[in-house]
Structure 1
Amino acid sequence: MPSREELLAFITENPDRAGKREISKAFGLKGGDRIWLKDLLREMQDEGLLKQKRRRLSRPGTLPRMVVLDIFSRDAEGGLLARPAEAEDEDGPVPIVSIRAQKSGGRTPPAGVGDRVLARVFPSEEEAGPAYTGRVMKVFEKRRRVVLGVFREMRDGTFRIEPVERRQPELTVDQEFRKDAKNGDLVEVEPLSQGRYGLPRAKVLEVVGSLTSEKAVSMIAIHAHEIPHVFPESVLKEAEAAKPATLEGREDWRKLPLVTIDPPDAKDHDDAVHAEPDQDEKNPGGVVVTVAIADVACYVRPDTALDREALNRGNSVYFPDRVVPMLPERISNDLCSLREGEARPALAVRMRFSSDGRKIGHSFHRVMMRSAARLSYEQAQAAVDGRPDDKTGPLLETVLRPLWNAYSVLKRGREAREPLELDLPERKIVLKSDGTVDRVVVPPRLDAHKLIEEFMIQANVAAAETLEAARQPLVYRVHDAPSLAKQESLREFLASLEISLAHGAALRPSQFNQILSRVEGTEQEQLVNEVVLRSQSQAIYARENIGHFGLNLRRYAHFTSPIRRYADLIVHRALITARKLGPDGLREQDEERLEEISALISATERRAMAAERETVDRLIAEHLAGRVNEEFSARISGVTKAGLFVLLPQYGADGFIPISSLGDDYYIFDEARHALVGQRSGSGYQLGDSVDVRLVEVAPLAGTMRFEMVSEPVRLPGSSRSFHKTKRGLARKQKRTNRPAGRGRRR
Structure 2
Amino acid sequence: MPSKKEILAFIASHGGDVGKRDIARAFGLSAPQKVELKAMLRELADEGTVDRRQRKLHVPGSLPGVVLADITGRDSDGELVATPVEWDSEEHGEAPRIIVRIPRTNGRRPAKTPAPGLADRVLLRIVEGSPELGNIYAGRIIKVLEKARKQTLGIFHSHLEGGGRIVPIDKKAAGRELMVPPGAEGGASDGDLVSVELLRQRVFGLPMARVKEKLGSLKHEKAVSLIALHAHSIPHVFPEAVVKEAEAARHATLKGREDWRQLPLITIDPPDAKDHDDAVHAAMDSDPANPDGFIVTVAIADVAAYVRPGSALDREALLRGNSVYFPDRVVPMLPERISNDLCSLRPEEDRPAMAVRMVIGADGRKRRHSFHRIMMRSAARLAYAQAQDAIEGRTDDTTGPLLESVLKPLYAAYAAVKRARDQREPLELNLPERKIVLTPEGTVDRVTVPLRLDAHRLIEEFMILANVATAEMLEEKRSPLIYRVHDAPSLEKLSALRDFLKTIDIALPRTDAVRPAHFNRILHQVETSDLEPLVNQVILRSQCQAEYVSENYGHFGLNLRRYAHFTSPIRRYADLVAHRALIRALGLGTDGLPEETTPAMLGEVAAAISVTERRAMAAERETVDRLIAHHLADQVGATFNGRISGATKAGLFISLDDTGADGFIPAATLGADYFHFDEARQALIGSRSGEMHRIGDRVEVKLIEAAPVAGALRFELLSEGTRLKGAQRRSARPAGRPKAGRSPGPGRNKVGRKK
Name the counterpart of 1:81.
81
Match for 1:613: what amino acid?
A: R
Name the counterpart of 2:622.
614
| 1:95-149 C-alpha deviation (Å, 9 max, x unpaired) | 4210024643522432123222112221159997663211212011223322212
Q: Name the stretch that deviates more: 232-241 or 655-664.
A: 232-241
Q: Structure 1 residue 722: deviation in Å?
A: 3.9
What is the 5 A alignment of 1:347-746?
Answer: 347-591=354-598, 592-716=600-724, 720-722=728-730, 729=737, 736-739=744-747, 745=752
> Per the alignment, do residues 151 and 626 of structure 1 end up closer, same or farther by CA in structure 2, a change over 3 Å counting?
same
Name the counterpart of 1:247.
254
Match for 2:697: what amino acid?
A: D
8 A contact 1:61–1:93 mirrored in 2: no
8 A contact 2:71–2:121 mirrored in 1: yes
Secondary structure of the residue that 2:118 maps to in structure 1?
coil
Q: Name the stretch that deviates more: 37-46 or 137-146.
A: 37-46
CA distance in 1, matches of 2:470, 2:589: 17
Q: Structure 1 residue 721: deviation in Å?
A: 3.7
> Per the alignment, do residues 28 and 276 of structure 1 end up closer, same or farther by CA in structure 2, a change over 3 Å counting?
farther
Match for 1:679: what amino acid?
A: S
Q: Is 2:99 the counterpart of 1:98?
A: yes
8 A contact 1:636–1:647 mirrored in 2: yes
8 A contact 1:214–1:320 mirrored in 2: no
| 1:63-93 C-alpha deviation (Å, 9 max, x unpaired) | 3433222222321222211233333796356
Q: Structure 1 residue 388: deviation in Å?
A: 1.0
Structure 2: state its 5+ residue gaps: none
8 A contact 1:70–1:84 mirrored in 2: yes
Match for 1:372: what amino acid?
A: A
Name the counterpart of 2:145.
140
Secondary structure of the residue that 1:86 maps to in structure 2?
coil
Q: Structure 1 residue 715: deviation in Å?
A: 2.0
What is the 5 A alignment of 1:303-382?
Answer: 303-382=310-389
Q: Name the stretch that deviates more: 331-340 or 554-563.
A: 331-340
CA distance in 2, matches of 1:552, 1:717: 41
Q: Structure 1 residue 515: deviation in Å?
A: 0.2
8 A contact 2:196–2:212 mirrored in 1: yes
Secondary structure of the residue that 1:477 maps to in structure 2?
strand
Name the counterpart of 2:41.
41
Secondary structure of the residue that 2:617 maps to in structure 1?
helix
Q: Structure 1 residue 204: deviation in Å?
A: 3.1
> Per the alignment, do residues 225 and 692 of structure 1 end up closer, same or farther by CA in structure 2, a change over 3 Å counting?
same
Q: Structure 1 residue 50: deviation in Å?
A: 2.5
Q: Structure 1 residue 225: deviation in Å?
A: 0.6
CA distance in 2, matches of 1:42, 1:521: 39
Secondary structure of the residue that 2:728 maps to in structure 1?
coil
| 1:474-503 C-alpha deviation (Å, 9 max, x unpaired) | 000000000000000000011111111111
Q: Structure 1 residue 714: deviation in Å?
A: 1.5
Q: Name the stretch that deviates more: 157-166 or 119-128.
A: 119-128
Give the TM-score of the pair, scaled to structure 2: 0.92
> Per the alignment, do residues 24 and 649 of structure 1 end up closer, same or farther by CA in structure 2, a change over 3 Å counting?
farther
CA distance in 2, matches of 1:415, 1:127: 46
CA distance in 2, matches of 1:426, 1:724: 34
Q: Is 2:167 the counterpart of 1:162?
A: yes
CA distance in 1, matches of 2:41, 2:138: 28
Secondary structure of the residue that 1:705 maps to in structure 2?
strand
CA distance in 2, matches of 1:642, 1:276: 57
> Per the alignment, do residues 75 and 521 of structure 1 end up closer, same or farther by CA in structure 2, a change over 3 Å counting?
same
Q: Structure 1 residue 7: deviation in Å?
A: 6.2
Q: Structure 1 residue 180: deviation in Å?
A: 4.4
8 A contact 2:163–2:183 mirrored in 1: no
> Per the alignment, do residues 473 and 433 of structure 1 end up closer, same or farther by CA in structure 2, a change over 3 Å counting?
same
CA distance in 2, matches of 1:126, 1:644: 31
8 A contact 2:121–2:148 mirrored in 1: no
What is the 5 A alignment of 1:202-213?
Answer: 202-213=209-220
> Per the alignment, do residues 130 and 641 of structure 1 end up closer, same or farther by CA in structure 2, a change over 3 Å counting?
closer
8 A contact 2:12–2:63 mirrored in 1: no
> Per the alignment, do residues 321 and 50 of structure 1 end up closer, same or farther by CA in structure 2, a change over 3 Å counting?
same
Q: Structure 1 residue 28: deviation in Å?
A: 9.8
Q: Name the stretch that deviates more: 58-67 or 136-145.
A: 58-67
Name the counterpart of 1:284.
291
Q: Structure 1 residue 374: deviation in Å?
A: 1.1
- Out of 222, 229, 235, which is 1:228 matched to? 235
Secondary structure of the residue that 1:332 maps to in structure 2?
helix
8 A contact 2:684–2:694 mirrored in 1: yes
Q: Name the stretch that deviates more: 677-686 or 263-272.
A: 677-686
Give the TM-score of the pair, scaled to structure 1: 0.93
Q: Structure 1 residue 623: deviation in Å?
A: 0.7
CA distance in 2, matches of 1:411, 1:50: 38
Q: Name the stretch that deviates more: 204-213 or 381-390.
A: 204-213
Match for 2:638: what amino acid?
A: E
- Identity fraction in percent: 59
Name the counterpart of 1:52.
52
Name the counterpart of 1:66.
66
8 A contact 1:496–1:718 mirrored in 2: no
Secondary structure of the residue that 2:534 maps to in structure 1?
helix
8 A contact 1:679–1:722 mirrored in 2: no
Secondary structure of the residue that 2:747 maps to in structure 1?
coil
8 A contact 1:66–1:595 mirrored in 2: no
> Per the alignment, do residues 245 and 527 of structure 1 end up closer, same or farther by CA in structure 2, a change over 3 Å counting?
same
8 A contact 1:102–1:110 mirrored in 2: no
Secondary structure of the residue that 2:92 maps to in structure 1?
coil
8 A contact 2:483–2:565 mirrored in 1: yes
- Out of 309, 322, 328, which is 1:302 matched to? 309
CA distance in 1, matches of 2:237, 2:58: 40
Q: Is 2:133 the counterpart of 1:149?
A: no
Q: Name the stretch that deviates more: 198-207 or 549-558.
A: 198-207
CA distance in 2, matches of 1:743, 1:12: 40
- Out of 180, 192, 211, which is 2:199 matched to? 192
Secondary structure of the residue that 2:67 maps to in structure 1?
strand
Match for 1:97: what amino acid?
A: I
> Per the alignment, do residues 196 and 509 of structure 1 end up closer, same or farther by CA in structure 2, a change over 3 Å counting?
closer
Structure 1: state its 5+ residue gaps: none
Q: Name the stretch that deviates more: 32-41 or 295-304.
A: 32-41
Q: Structure 1 residue 649: deviation in Å?
A: 2.0
Q: Structure 1 residue 48: deviation in Å?
A: 4.4
Name the counterpart of 1:112.
117
CA distance in 2, matches of 1:71, 1:189: 22
Q: Structure 1 residue 249: deviation in Å?
A: 0.8
Secondary structure of the residue that 1:506 maps to in structure 2?
coil
Aligned residues: 745
Secondary structure of the residue that 2:568 maps to in structure 1?
coil
CA distance in 2, matches of 1:166, 1:470: 49
